[in-house]
Chains A and B, each alone.
Chain A
């Protein structure tokens, strides 16, 4: 296989707050090949959005990328080297902020944001905004940019694009705005689009239309995608490969079919079990017990052990290695769980956690008493 266009290795982003250091992204690695749709899933607070803004180098104070490498088509978006005093410092190959802005953002990598209601500037006509982005990233005249903009609006299925070019964002519905935003991302002809929960704010029918649109356009332009979401249904629908994040770490990575049918990590398992089905009542829902711990002070050992139904004593002590556990007939399938390591999981005793004793109904009862 050819070289991946985006390669993230051991990326670390931390937020330095008064309460302490939040390790929002703690050593994640993944790759995106040309024309591939890679999913990044996880609960709220898992570090998905921080991971994507780290790739764009848009992490804001007090956050800082503190380690790892992000390579895009051979260019080092993030790169650290060891200085003479042993401290990590930015390597000379790492792109400057100026180079990031001019060469990468918009031109090579574009972002689609979560909430289409918020991602368009309310005081500008959508056409003017679209044109601004095209002018910046494609070195074309203002007149040509307008033509491209109208073409893109037509491309993403907006009726009467010449007329809608002159409309303000508030005159569009949510789904239409998301189409405009997709047009904006595609208009600069990037090779990689990072979609940060682009359909979360839309209702299901519109979501379906947008997903179809993205699939069509993805095939037409052969753009790669990093698709951030917490919706496994969407993942199953469009992704080629999936990374599952928990508390700043990627804990499982596999082709989409393998992830759903040969799930390895208990967390992924639990996520899949927690998807509501139409034939279930609320009582039959099977959510993951507890809430994700604070990334400021992550649990020892495996970070998921506090909520893992399969947790054993060893999980508390050993931090699992992220390793390939694929069967011979499978493509790569990475997972980080002590179950697949030879550290004595089978002999260890079951750990008393919220999840392991949840079957006695403790959590639900306690919540009922509180009210």
Chain B
């Protein structure tokens, strides 16, 4: 209690008398998030996952780049450069024992041979190292989560902001249209979309993005309805600013806070959804590693090696929880009623 008071006082002193600390803006929001340990934990998880995903991504790009040169191709470089260079165990189909248990553990197949550090999390049904596949699967999870959410956020914001700003028949048309999307069961919508356009990861992201447009459209519309009545919008109109610029520069930035919170939570949800799609065979196609697909494959080996299904499940869980924690933290930071 005393400590937190002291902290507050120091903050106030530092900000100086003439420029009171704003209760809006990125810096303030971040300072609020920093005081929230659970949000910080979420941030740490996401930062870690993103770092892993980034390394895996660079790995992929590097391979694409190097494999264009005959010199490297002749050396016999293979995909998953990093793993193949620094890890003794191959990632590709292979040679290893299948369905090995994790280190120090045993399973039905190997009752007398506990797992070794060679495969800390065991191997899958083709003898590939689970840890390495989880590592490269992060790339897909994070990318699809963020890209699908980004698509939904951008399109949803435009639809909702235009609908809310103009009102009348434009509002009716856009919102009824997006409610039609809501009315169709989510997975069926995405699967139908992918069946029509292509059964790969790109269309999975676009499909999920489009299917979640209504969430964002409704959210921002409700904010825009109050923002558009503000005097500064009227002032901009009276100064001859175009409607397009009013929506993009004045309406959307002022309606953005709840969208940011929703987007953070939605990333977690979308990771789950796309893992679900991969499980059904509608996500990343083999041999590209993805968590959902690993889960799907592990289903048949639940009894001989249950560890195979536990690890991708834990990876999904941690990532989704991370995004949820940071989303909750942001919501608290951006909600003036919760602020003291």
Contact = CB atoms under 8 A, between A and B. Distances in A.
Q: Do the two chains belong together in a single complex?
A: yes
Interface of A: 56, 58, 61, 101-102, 104-107, 110-111, 113-115, 118-124, 132-133, 136-137, 168, 170-171, 181, 184, 188
A136 B241 contact: yes
A122 B24 contact: yes
Given A121-B232, A122-B24, A58 B240 contact: no
Contact of B231 (A101, A113, A132, A136): A113
A137 B239 CA distance: 8
Nearest to B254: A123
Interface in B249-272: 249-250, 253-254
Nearest to B19: A171
Given A110-B239, A133-B239, A121 B250 contact: yes
Given A56-B238, A122-B254, 17 more contacts: A58-B234, A105-B240, A106-B238, A118-B231, A118-B232, A119-B235, A120-B232, A121-B253, A122-B232, A123-B24, A123-B253, A168-B22, A170-B20, A171-B19, A171-B22, A184-B239, A188-B239
A105 B239 CA distance: 5
Contacts of A114: 231
A102 B240 contact: yes
A119 B241 CA distance: 14
Interface in B204-239: 230-232, 234-239
B237 to A, nearest CB: 6
B168 A61 contact: yes
B9 interface: no
B25 to A, nearest CB: 8
Report whether over half of chain B's contact residues are helix, strand or loop; otherwise say mixed.
Answer: helix
A105 B238 contact: yes
B22 A170 contact: yes
Contact of A58 (B168, B237, B242, B253): B237
A111 B231 CA distance: 11
Given A101-B240, A121-B250, A121-B254, A61 B167 contact: yes
24 contacts: A58-B234, A58-B238, A105-B237, A105-B238, A105-B239, A106-B241, A110-B239, A118-B232, A119-B234, A119-B235, A120-B235, A122-B232, A123-B24, A123-B25, A132-B249, A133-B236, A133-B239, A136-B239, A136-B241, A168-B25, A170-B20, A181-B235, A184-B235, A184-B239
Contacts of B239: 105-106, 110, 133, 136-137, 184, 188
Given A121-B232, A123-B253, A171-B19, A132 B167 contact: no
B241 A132 contact: yes
Contacts of A181: 235
A119 B232 contact: yes
Interface string B17-28: 001101011000
B240 A136 contact: yes
Pairs A-B, 7 closest by C-beta atoms: A105-B240, A106-B239, A106-B240, A118-B231, A111-B238, A119-B231, A121-B232
Nearest to A116: B231
Given A106-B238, A184-B239, A115 B22 contact: no
A132 B239 CA distance: 10
B240 A107 contact: yes
Contact of B240 (A115, A137, A168, A184): A137
A170 B24 CA distance: 9
A110 B241 CA distance: 12
A165 B230 CA distance: 22
B31 to A, nearest CB: 16
A111 B235 contact: yes
Interface in B159-210: 167-168
Contacts of B241: 106, 132-133, 136
Contacts of A188: 239
Nearest to A122: B24
Which of B25, B168, B241, B254 has the most C-beta atoms of chain A within 10 angstroms of its own C-beta?
Answer: B241
Contacts of B249: 124, 132
Contacts of A105: 237-240
Contacts of B250: 121
Nearest to B166: A61
Nearest to B250: A121
Contacts of A115: 231
B235 to A, nearest CB: 5
Contacts of A111: 234-235, 238
A106 B241 CA distance: 9
Which of B168, B232, B242 has the most C-beta atoms of chain A within 10 angstroms of its own C-beta?
Answer: B232
A61 B229 CA distance: 12
A169 B230 CA distance: 14
A136 B250 CA distance: 15
A61 B238 CA distance: 16
Which of A110, A170, A188 has the most C-beta atoms of chain B within 10 angstroms of its own C-beta?
Answer: A170
A101 B246 CA distance: 13
Interface in B131-169: 167-168
Nearest to A123: B253
A132 B242 CA distance: 11
B30 to A, nearest CB: 16
A171 B28 CA distance: 14
A228 B239 CA distance: 18
A105 B238 CA distance: 5
A188 B235 CA distance: 13
A361 B25 CA distance: 55
A136 B242 CA distance: 9
A107 B25 CA distance: 32
A146 to B, nearest CB: 17
A115 B238 CA distance: 15
Nearest to A169: B232
A120 B249 CA distance: 13
